[in-house]
Structure 1
């Protein structure tokens, strides 16, 4: 952006997001310091002047990707009377502005403005063409930034929810290195037992079980990933079942790290399926709400036809949901899916 400012003879750029929905938005960025200003100047604009900014209103009227040059929308006389120009922009040594909406998704709008010093000439047609040439790349960067913020927010909420579970849950990579473990998993790994920390990652006390766990995790992190359940040798009154599930690339926990990941859940198998939270199951497995409801119905003994009747959809639609569900969980058959849900017993 500094190079773009140099080419445009702009002293300052300002990138910010408008979203009336209240969703998390990226922090605004600018190069105020390089122009001899400080962050408080932009904070003053955002709290005191943005609502009266004729430049902002003009930019929002231009189609996304189009360039707003303020002198084409605001006359010199209007600018002299406008408090944004008179009380904020000009006293800071700035005047001429080029504005662009670089991303429009739902209620969110990402905008960038380039402001020239007050003694410079207004932007010309050549400047406008130069900005239009760069807009596709700037827009792609804005989409990636918003996507990473959304993934970070979703992942932090989901990981916080894991700490409320009684089950021991961890996110691991293909080498069984632990990237996150909930409180229950940390307690389990710290205590003597069948599952423990080994060679810097997750492992088993029994050598054969350890080798099998590593194979299952590697298979879950492969493409396509495969889910499986491992029953560990007894080291206490009850046998521990370890469920290994692939995390799809779109899943918040996997996408942030940009490497194949697997979800490892350790629990005592068995128990009733009633009362399982479909929202939590969906978060853990990266399922849509409909797919999570289907999974729980199948695990409770219902059929795909039962699901179609309950959901009010056609048999073909229900089969499509089943195919998506099996693909996301890495299961090849319904019986494998039921075994996985029974081992999870997320309640």
Structure 2
């Protein structure tokens, strides 16, 4: 292939953010957060996210461990990809599902464009639509499945460039927050008006708070957590975390939520809480000051909703086999499962309540014992021992 015929990413120098750019991002974040409680808005959200990143199509995609095909849960702007065309490039493209949480990966990072355009996938599916590249970020990963958000690049967009990566980094955390919260409950179109009634029936703890952290409402599961007084309590009418660092995070998130969606930034996503007995919980905060969330029958003083659920790492039936096969210590096995469930070293350190250096030491030992050389290899290792749940 002639080098001159290869689409090239345009050199990108990050410009100063203009006020209209900031407003565009803020508006997009608002639509994404609305989709957390109203799934009918996801198509609109991913369409706008596709244009924001610099593409013509996008999707929220789920893939079960061991499966060589993926399912688009919500999609926009492209024709469905036949499994038979994806199968030949599956192993080359698999890192899209194994990357670090929220970190962009382009297909042309994995397969040179000259090779990609020789595949039947490109000739029969991508080229007729004018598609030449794909950029994605992992939103969630368990021992059974992975979820990613991805954007397709058209010929007129060029190959994935630094601007596309920057835009993906800006928006991926917010899509992740909405997806993780949305998975805690399944609203159908038209049910948003009964938001509070639905939340009161959740097994997940839910709290409505104002910008100062004052507790406005707690559902039954949330009240039970407060009554236990282990990870959360109510003091002076405010929601208080037992851990001082977590409390600072909550205080900052609630205050920011009072200023609007974009002000929250990436704080308040997958906040780890650990009880005195070692029981782990995870919390996600959702701003409530605008859009469908404001119209969902919520007390207008509420600035944020906090969702709290048990988050024991998935220790599948395969974990014992993995531990015995590679002679892992209990701590090494916990770190291995955490890498699969949570992501990179900083996230695992937060989840387990230890220093980054401690996790890094255990990861190095895992490399020695398993023969892996990358964290993605460790994820593959666990996947290889895991049988997806039927149904």
Q: TM (normalized to structure 1)?
A: 0.37
